[in-house]
Structure 1
Amino acid sequence: MKTDFSEGFYSNDSDKETLATRNTLLTEQVDAVRQEKNKLLQFLKCQLTGYLGVKVAYWIQGSFKNHTVIRPVRSSDEFDVDVGLYIFADAEGQGVNASDAKRLLNKALQAYCESHSTAKLEDSKLNCERICFPDNFHIDLPLYYIDEKIGKCRLATENNGWIDSDPKALQSWFDNQIKHFSDTEKARLRRVIKAIKTWVSLKNIKLPSIAISTFIARNYVGYASEEDAIWELSNSLTNYIVTGGRILSPINGDDLISAKGEELDELKSACSRLQSVLKAVALSESIVVSHQLWSIEFEHVLPPLNSLKVQAGSENLPAITTPPQISVKTSSGVPEQVLSNVSVYRGDKLSFRVDNKNDLGHNQRFDISDSVTENCEYRGKHYMECTILNGGLIVGVSTVVVNVLRQQRPLRNPPKKRYGPVR
């Protein structure tokens, strides 16, 4: 590539906004998961042991185990945590039916939800049970049995009985596949997986995390920069899918993509569009242009141009002539004003409007709406960026930093505490 946009994807400075910081779970999200998970699993171990009369244990699996879980890209989305529950017995040999075992797990979860009002039990899935929590996450609970004498591990399903499935074997394969890389390269490999998962989530297509992780582990070779790694592996993966390649499980040979019909067509179309963007990125001679191209695929999760501290007029960069002034109005009733930084509570709404339209040379034709309203759902630092284009060239860029506080806005007139006897 002619330019290096790596600082938009990752920085050693943890305070710098990058794709990696913006698709990583917040500290309070991780803490909420741990607290809810620990309470739930201790309860389930006790209940299932009582129901079945055998040892029951659990094992974290999937993206949470592999450190590749991503922050939801929309306020309505959830992230998931996979926790396998293990019955230490030859369930089939003892006549325990898979669907009956799943029903016992569902019964235990119902009991948990009755005593924990924030937990909500979803309808049974074919291969697991799911319980949802208010902080935009859910826990999927597949149920296995392990026959330690012969090393057999099987999964309880609703329609197909007990089937061969061993998530520990897949995790061991992944760890062994990347063990020769340095810790720095392993961390980058996982960031590439998270970047592609972010793209999949933004485009709302079906490409399972396990398929992405398997492909990256097989094809990662070490790269000169963060952008090189994301570009090369995204290009390889999308080309492989478009040309009909299948990603097979290293454990049992199953097709890990599993998309068929319309879902597969949508996946291939999205991959083709990403390939077109990747070709344009490879030819880009400007960080500004690279940012605009990558933003097509990574949308609002990519940090805004201003946060990258690109200097106007430097080599291969267009000079920014007139930065737009952005006027901000909050739902709290604070008067509208031109700001570069604003702090709000979770649940607030912000409206943004360009204040100096006539100064930008676009008073006759201005191709943006009068105002844009956004909801403030996730705490932390966010950005509203405005880019002015003239004849296809960027002539103005401005950003408002939005600091969303952790708590919701306090009530203006909360109920007063009553004293004395109640009438």
Structure 2
Amino acid sequence: MGIAADLFHSSDPDRETLHRRITPTDDQQAAQQERWNDLAEVLKAKLKDQTGLPTRTRLQGSYQFKTQIRPHNARAQFDIDLGLYFEWEGEPEDGDHEPEGLKALVQDALLAYHSDAEKDATGVEDPKERCNRITFAPDFHIDVPSYHLDAERDARALATETLGWEGSDPKAIYVWFKDEQEDQALRTKVRRQVRYFKMWAALTFVEGSRPSSILLTVLVADAVREMDLASTDDADLFESIAAVVHARLADGAKVPNPVDTDEDLNRLSDEEHAEFVAQLETLVDVAARANGAQDKFTAAETWTEAFGHFFPMPEDNEEMVVEKADTRNALIPFQFDPQISILATPKKNSHVSWKGLNELQPIPKDCDIEFSLQNAPPAGSRLRWTVRNRGDEAAGENDLGHHAGDEATITEHSAYNGDHAMDLTVLLGNQVIGRRRVWIKVRGMAVPPRNPARRRHVL
């Protein structure tokens, strides 16, 4: 069993786990559902009137597969796929509409929706090859792929911008995915693994050269087919899947669509595929070191190499929360014990400040916070500062943290109420030789500007 397996997932919804931190909140899902329901009804009515065709919509992609992840940073967006289906009998070419013509109608409908002041759409992007896209405040977009549907044959074809009609059946691949694991509990476990790999990919690759969600989904589903899912924890399972996927892609790039083997789901260029394989090799090494660690702190610090601030530390769960000033920072003795001074200063009132060593009293929002390592680390070692935010405010803004730097002194900012953490890790090679967590408790609104000195009147 992976020593940090309970930091991947727990049946207790209140525990801080990787899966909890990468999954949208209930409020975020409700907001998305409200928008796509409204958009779907408007598009169906408008395009049925324009084309004279029966029109349906269907949620697909990550939302349908139940593998959606939150944006990997506060600037990224949730991705929703809303399929739009135009019905006529026969082949796609038997209808009165060309694929690019249907996509143009959809684009116009999205622009009209965006122009409606009662809607909260924030923009419509230029048409993409295989979909149209509309964005919404605060943090998501809806991709609208358009299809021909012959309901009698249960056959679909995707309308593209320049490639004509393309064989594509999102329903068939979803049914395939569900049928791969008939047991609901095991299917849920596979879905978690897909989420882990999707977040790793989001953190590792830039958009445009990132392996697609459906590619990762199929790779994971294929990899687990011969594995003992029931008795393997999430940490060990992730390592096993990473090793199988790496070996497969190192041997060849092609990943056939399981419901249409003529389609290759791997659309990465040769250079992008080579980078994918190289990063998978690194991931396998990280997973092996993490699962082979002697203590949970070292394991969690190692998993941070793959998942960054999304991977929680043992202190994030109540049995290891440090509450008292005289409590040791770690239950595991390390070679180096970092001493961190903290200075928090309101941005609008520099005459007020809070200071501390290894801890800080609660502070308000909108403070600059300077963290400075006071004792020299061992020669040849390196530092890794990681912000881990918690609480509803940070989660609502998709800002659960970030890598904060590698210098001896760094500056951060208090933006959200809640109990947040600054974690300093000291590494020598790949070995964790020191660590310290500083809790930053943010309470209340920002300190107002200092009133200017009252002018003296001279008689």
Normalised by the length of structure 2, the TM-score is: 0.78
Following superposition, the deviation at residue 326 of structure 1 comes to: 5.1
| Structure 2 counterpart of 1:201 | 202
Structure 1 spans left out of the alignment, 5+ residues = 414-423
Q: Secondary structure at the match of 1:119?
A: strand
| Structure 1 counterpart of 2:153 | 150
Cα distance 1:185–1:80, how it changes in 2: closer, same or farther (>3 A)? same
Counterpart CA distance in 2 for 1:187 and 1:350 is: 42
Counterpart CA distance in 2 for 1:108 and 1:213 is: 31
Q: Residue by residue, what CA displacement relative to the aligned partner does 1:71-102 show, whole Å, maximum 9, x if unpaired?
A: 11111111200010111224532321111111
Counterpart CA distance in 2 for 1:39 and 1:86 is: 17
Cα distance 1:14–1:151, how it changes in 2: closer, same or farther (>3 A)? closer
Counterpart CA distance in 1 for 2:88 and 2:416 is: 44
| Structure 1 counterpart of 2:27 | 28
| Structure 2 counterpart of 1:240 | 248
Counterpart among 198, 211, 215 of residue 211 in structure 1: 215
Farther-moved stretch of structure 1 (16-25 vs 29-38): 29-38
Counterpart CA distance in 1 for 2:32 and 2:447 is: 25
Contact 2:100 2:164 (8 Å CA) reproduced: yes
Cα distance 1:191–1:340, how it changes in 2: closer, same or farther (>3 A)? farther
Following superposition, the deviation at residue 278 of structure 1 comes to: 2.8
Size of the alignment, in residue pairs?
402
Counterpart CA distance in 1 for 2:149 and 2:186 is: 34
| Structure 2 counterpart of 1:95 | 96
Cα distance 1:410–1:252, how it changes in 2: closer, same or farther (>3 A)? farther
Cα distance 1:157–1:361, how it changes in 2: closer, same or farther (>3 A)? closer
Q: Secondary structure at the match of 2:94?
A: coil
**Identity level (%):** 25
Following superposition, the deviation at residue 296 of structure 1 comes to: 1.1
Cα distance 1:75–1:153, how it changes in 2: closer, same or farther (>3 A)? same
| Structure 1 counterpart of 2:453 | none
Following superposition, the deviation at residue 120 of structure 1 comes to: 0.6
Structure 2 spans left out of the alignment, 5+ residues = 322-326, 384-405, 451-459
CA RMSD, 1 decimal = 3.4
| Structure 1 counterpart of 2:390 | none
| Structure 2 counterpart of 1:225 | 233
Contact 1:86 1:146 (8 Å CA) reproduced: yes
Supply the AA of the counterpart residue of 2:333: P
Following superposition, the deviation at residue 29 of structure 1 comes to: 1.9
Contact 2:236 2:291 (8 Å CA) reproduced: no
Counterpart CA distance in 1 for 2:419 and 2:199 is: 19
Counterpart CA distance in 2 for 1:354 and 1:30 is: 39
Counterpart CA distance in 2 for 1:29 and 1:144 is: 28
Normalised by the length of structure 1, the TM-score is: 0.84
Following superposition, the deviation at residue 60 of structure 1 comes to: 0.4
Q: Residue by residue, what CA displacement relative to the aligned partner does 1:99-140 show, whole Å, maximum 9, x if unpaired?
A: 111111111111101113543100000111000112221100
Supply the AA of the counterpart residue of 1:384: M
Supply the AA of the counterpart residue of 2:128: K
Instruction: Note if 1:400 corresponds to 2:439.
Output: yes
Cα distance 1:278–1:361, how it changes in 2: closer, same or farther (>3 A)? closer
Instruction: Note if 1:276 corresponds to 2:315.
Output: no
| Structure 1 counterpart of 2:393 | none
Contact 1:126 1:158 (8 Å CA) reproduced: yes
Q: How does 1:244-323 map to 2 (within 5 A)?
A: 244-253=252-261, 254-307=263-316, 309=319, 317-318=332-333, 322=337
Counterpart CA distance in 1 for 2:234 and 2:443 is: 29
Q: How does 1:124-143 map to 2 (within 5 A)?
A: 124-143=127-146
Q: Secondary structure at the match of 1:150?
A: coil
Contact 2:354 2:360 (8 Å CA) reproduced: no
Counterpart CA distance in 1 for 2:251 and 2:436 is: 39
| Structure 1 counterpart of 2:164 | 161
Cα distance 1:234–1:14, how it changes in 2: closer, same or farther (>3 A)? same
Counterpart CA distance in 1 for 2:296 and 2:154 is: 54
Instruction: Note if 1:337 corresponds to 2:355.
Output: yes
Cα distance 1:235–1:26, how it changes in 2: closer, same or farther (>3 A)? same
Q: Secondary structure at the match of 1:92?
A: helix
Counterpart CA distance in 2 for 1:258 and 1:377 is: 39
